[in-house]
Structure 1
Amino acid sequence: MRKLANSELERKNVAEFKEAEKTPIVIILDDIRSLHNIGSVFRTADAFLIEKIYLCGITATPPNKEIHKTALGATDTVSWEYAKDVLEVIENLKKEEVAVFAIEQVEHSVLLQDFTPETGKKYALVFGNEVKGVSQQAIHECDGTIEIPQLGTKHSLNISVSAGIVVWDLFKKLQFPG
């Protein structure tokens, strides 16, 4: 086995990324404190051709040196928008018939492995504050909640790790159904 050089990976350039058909997933980051988490989510969104990221509340926006450290240019490829109020973003997406799901531990959540996205439908995933999670108000406005099963002693995962897990799982199910 030989490790591939970057030039052999056949990745898109910025213009090709912008023109490419996107995965029908939107990410909503609400009140994310860590600039590194924000940058990591941008990088994940780039990897899976995510349609858009909404940065809400106290979530910082590009250009930002600390976001760039982990995004490594993904803020130039992935479409993003700042909105102060996450509830307004959720409401507007639902009007556009986007299915909005909070990624959170709540009563009656659907475990990630049991969640089956519908082909031809667009999904928005709400990720909340590193300490408080997705607000109860936002959860009430969502169409449902998805929970990442955890078997250890900790109660949560890092936001960028959660985003990577959920985005990969939905991407895989949408791109390779069955």
Structure 2
Amino acid sequence: MPTTVSDPADPRLADYVSLTDVALRRRLEPEGGLYVAESEKVIRRALAAGHRPRSFLMAERWLTDLADVVEDAEAAGVPVLVGDHDVIERLTGFHLHRGALASMHRPVLPSLAETLEGARRVLVLEDVVDHTNVGAVFRSAAALGIDAVLVTPRCADPLYRRAVRVSMGTVFQVPWTRVDPWPGGVAALQELGFHVAALALSDDSVGLDELAADPPQRLALVLGTEGDGLARRTLAAVDTVVRIPMAGGVDSLNVAAAGAVAAWALRAPAHPEG
């Protein structure tokens, strides 16, 4: 049976404390081997991807919508905690209106070679620190046929609650891992047969249409951090610098929007009919 909780200091609720405190969660979640999934859809996608729950926290009204999840959790001995909205709000720092929360075991990230096996189109996020942008990139990657996403050591955590929510759970769908060191990882990608292109403004850049006219078989497209863009060492290491032609006096797009445009233009051709 679900367990009713009323005291925000209850130790069983420790995984959910101060979910809005980004600095705290950046330390607590990776070091504690956990991440927090928010909303019924995201929880279901995490479970479908094989991720293991540590516990669930929800208001009573959601026990019906998540009845099958609750039943499976109870059979596996996973705590299902139920509380009033005001208790949950005091605990987490926000009003729980998306159904439920789940504390999930953080999966072990695969190696670079495992992540890229069979991949033809890859996005690399260099030091993208905004969780909303990271989530948006993953959602575009899933929608536009990107085979994998790589994140550099200083990039925001794709499993942070906001990134997961913005991605609509597609962080569980698109294979991803961290590439470390960086930009030394450019050479590792090249050794795996990838043409590495950087999306940036530079004097030697080629237009997106030009690269799309004769696309490489395997392509890794590097997207830079908000504001500063890509590091000089990265631009020096890649095979091609590519730009999206702009109109209307606009010099650049948000990183997630730029990644979506480039992913669509450079999508892998369909395999020939056998």
TM-score (norm 2): 0.53
Q: 1:79 aligns with which of 167, 175, 179?
A: 175
Q: Which amino acid aligns with 2:221?
A: L
Which residue number in structure 2 is paired with residue 159 of structure 1? 255
Q: Which amino acid aligns with 1:174?
A: P
Q: Which amino acid aligns with 2:269?
A: L
CA deviation digits over 1:127-161, x for unaligned, max 9? 01111111110011000111001122332110000
Q: CA deviation at 1:47?
A: 1.0
1:95/1:131 Cα in 2 relative to 1: closer, same or farther (>3 Å)? same
Q: 2:133 aligns with which of 34, 37, 44?
A: 37
SS of 1:42 mapped into structure 2? helix
CA deviation digits over 1:15-53, x for unaligned, max 9? 7xxxxx976111100010211110011011111231211
Gaps of 5+ in 1: 1-13, 16-20
SS of 2:184 mapped into structure 1? helix
Identity %: 25
1:95/1:22 Cα in 2 relative to 1: closer, same or farther (>3 Å)? closer
Aligned counterparts of 1:166 and 1:23: Cα–Cα separation in 2: 17
Which residue number in structure 2 is paired with residue 54 of structure 1? 150
Aligned counterparts of 1:149 and 1:27: Cα–Cα separation in 2: 20
Gaps of 5+ in 2: 1-47, 50-116
Aligned counterparts of 1:36 and 1:59: Cα–Cα separation in 2: 12
Which residue number in structure 1 is paired with residue 229 of structure 2? 133
Count of residue correspondences: 157
Structure 2 counterparts to residues 92-107 of structure 1, below 5 A: 92-107=188-203
Aligned counterparts of 1:163 and 1:50: Cα–Cα separation in 2: 10
RMSD: 2.2
Q: Which runs of 4+ in 1 moved over 3 A?
A: none
Please tell me whether Structure 1 or Structure 2 has the larger radius of gyration of its CA atoms. 2
Alignment check: 8 A CA contact 1:117 1:174 kept:
no
Aligned counterparts of 2:242 and 2:231: Cα–Cα separation in 1: 14
Which residue number in structure 2 is paired with residue 11 of structure 1? none
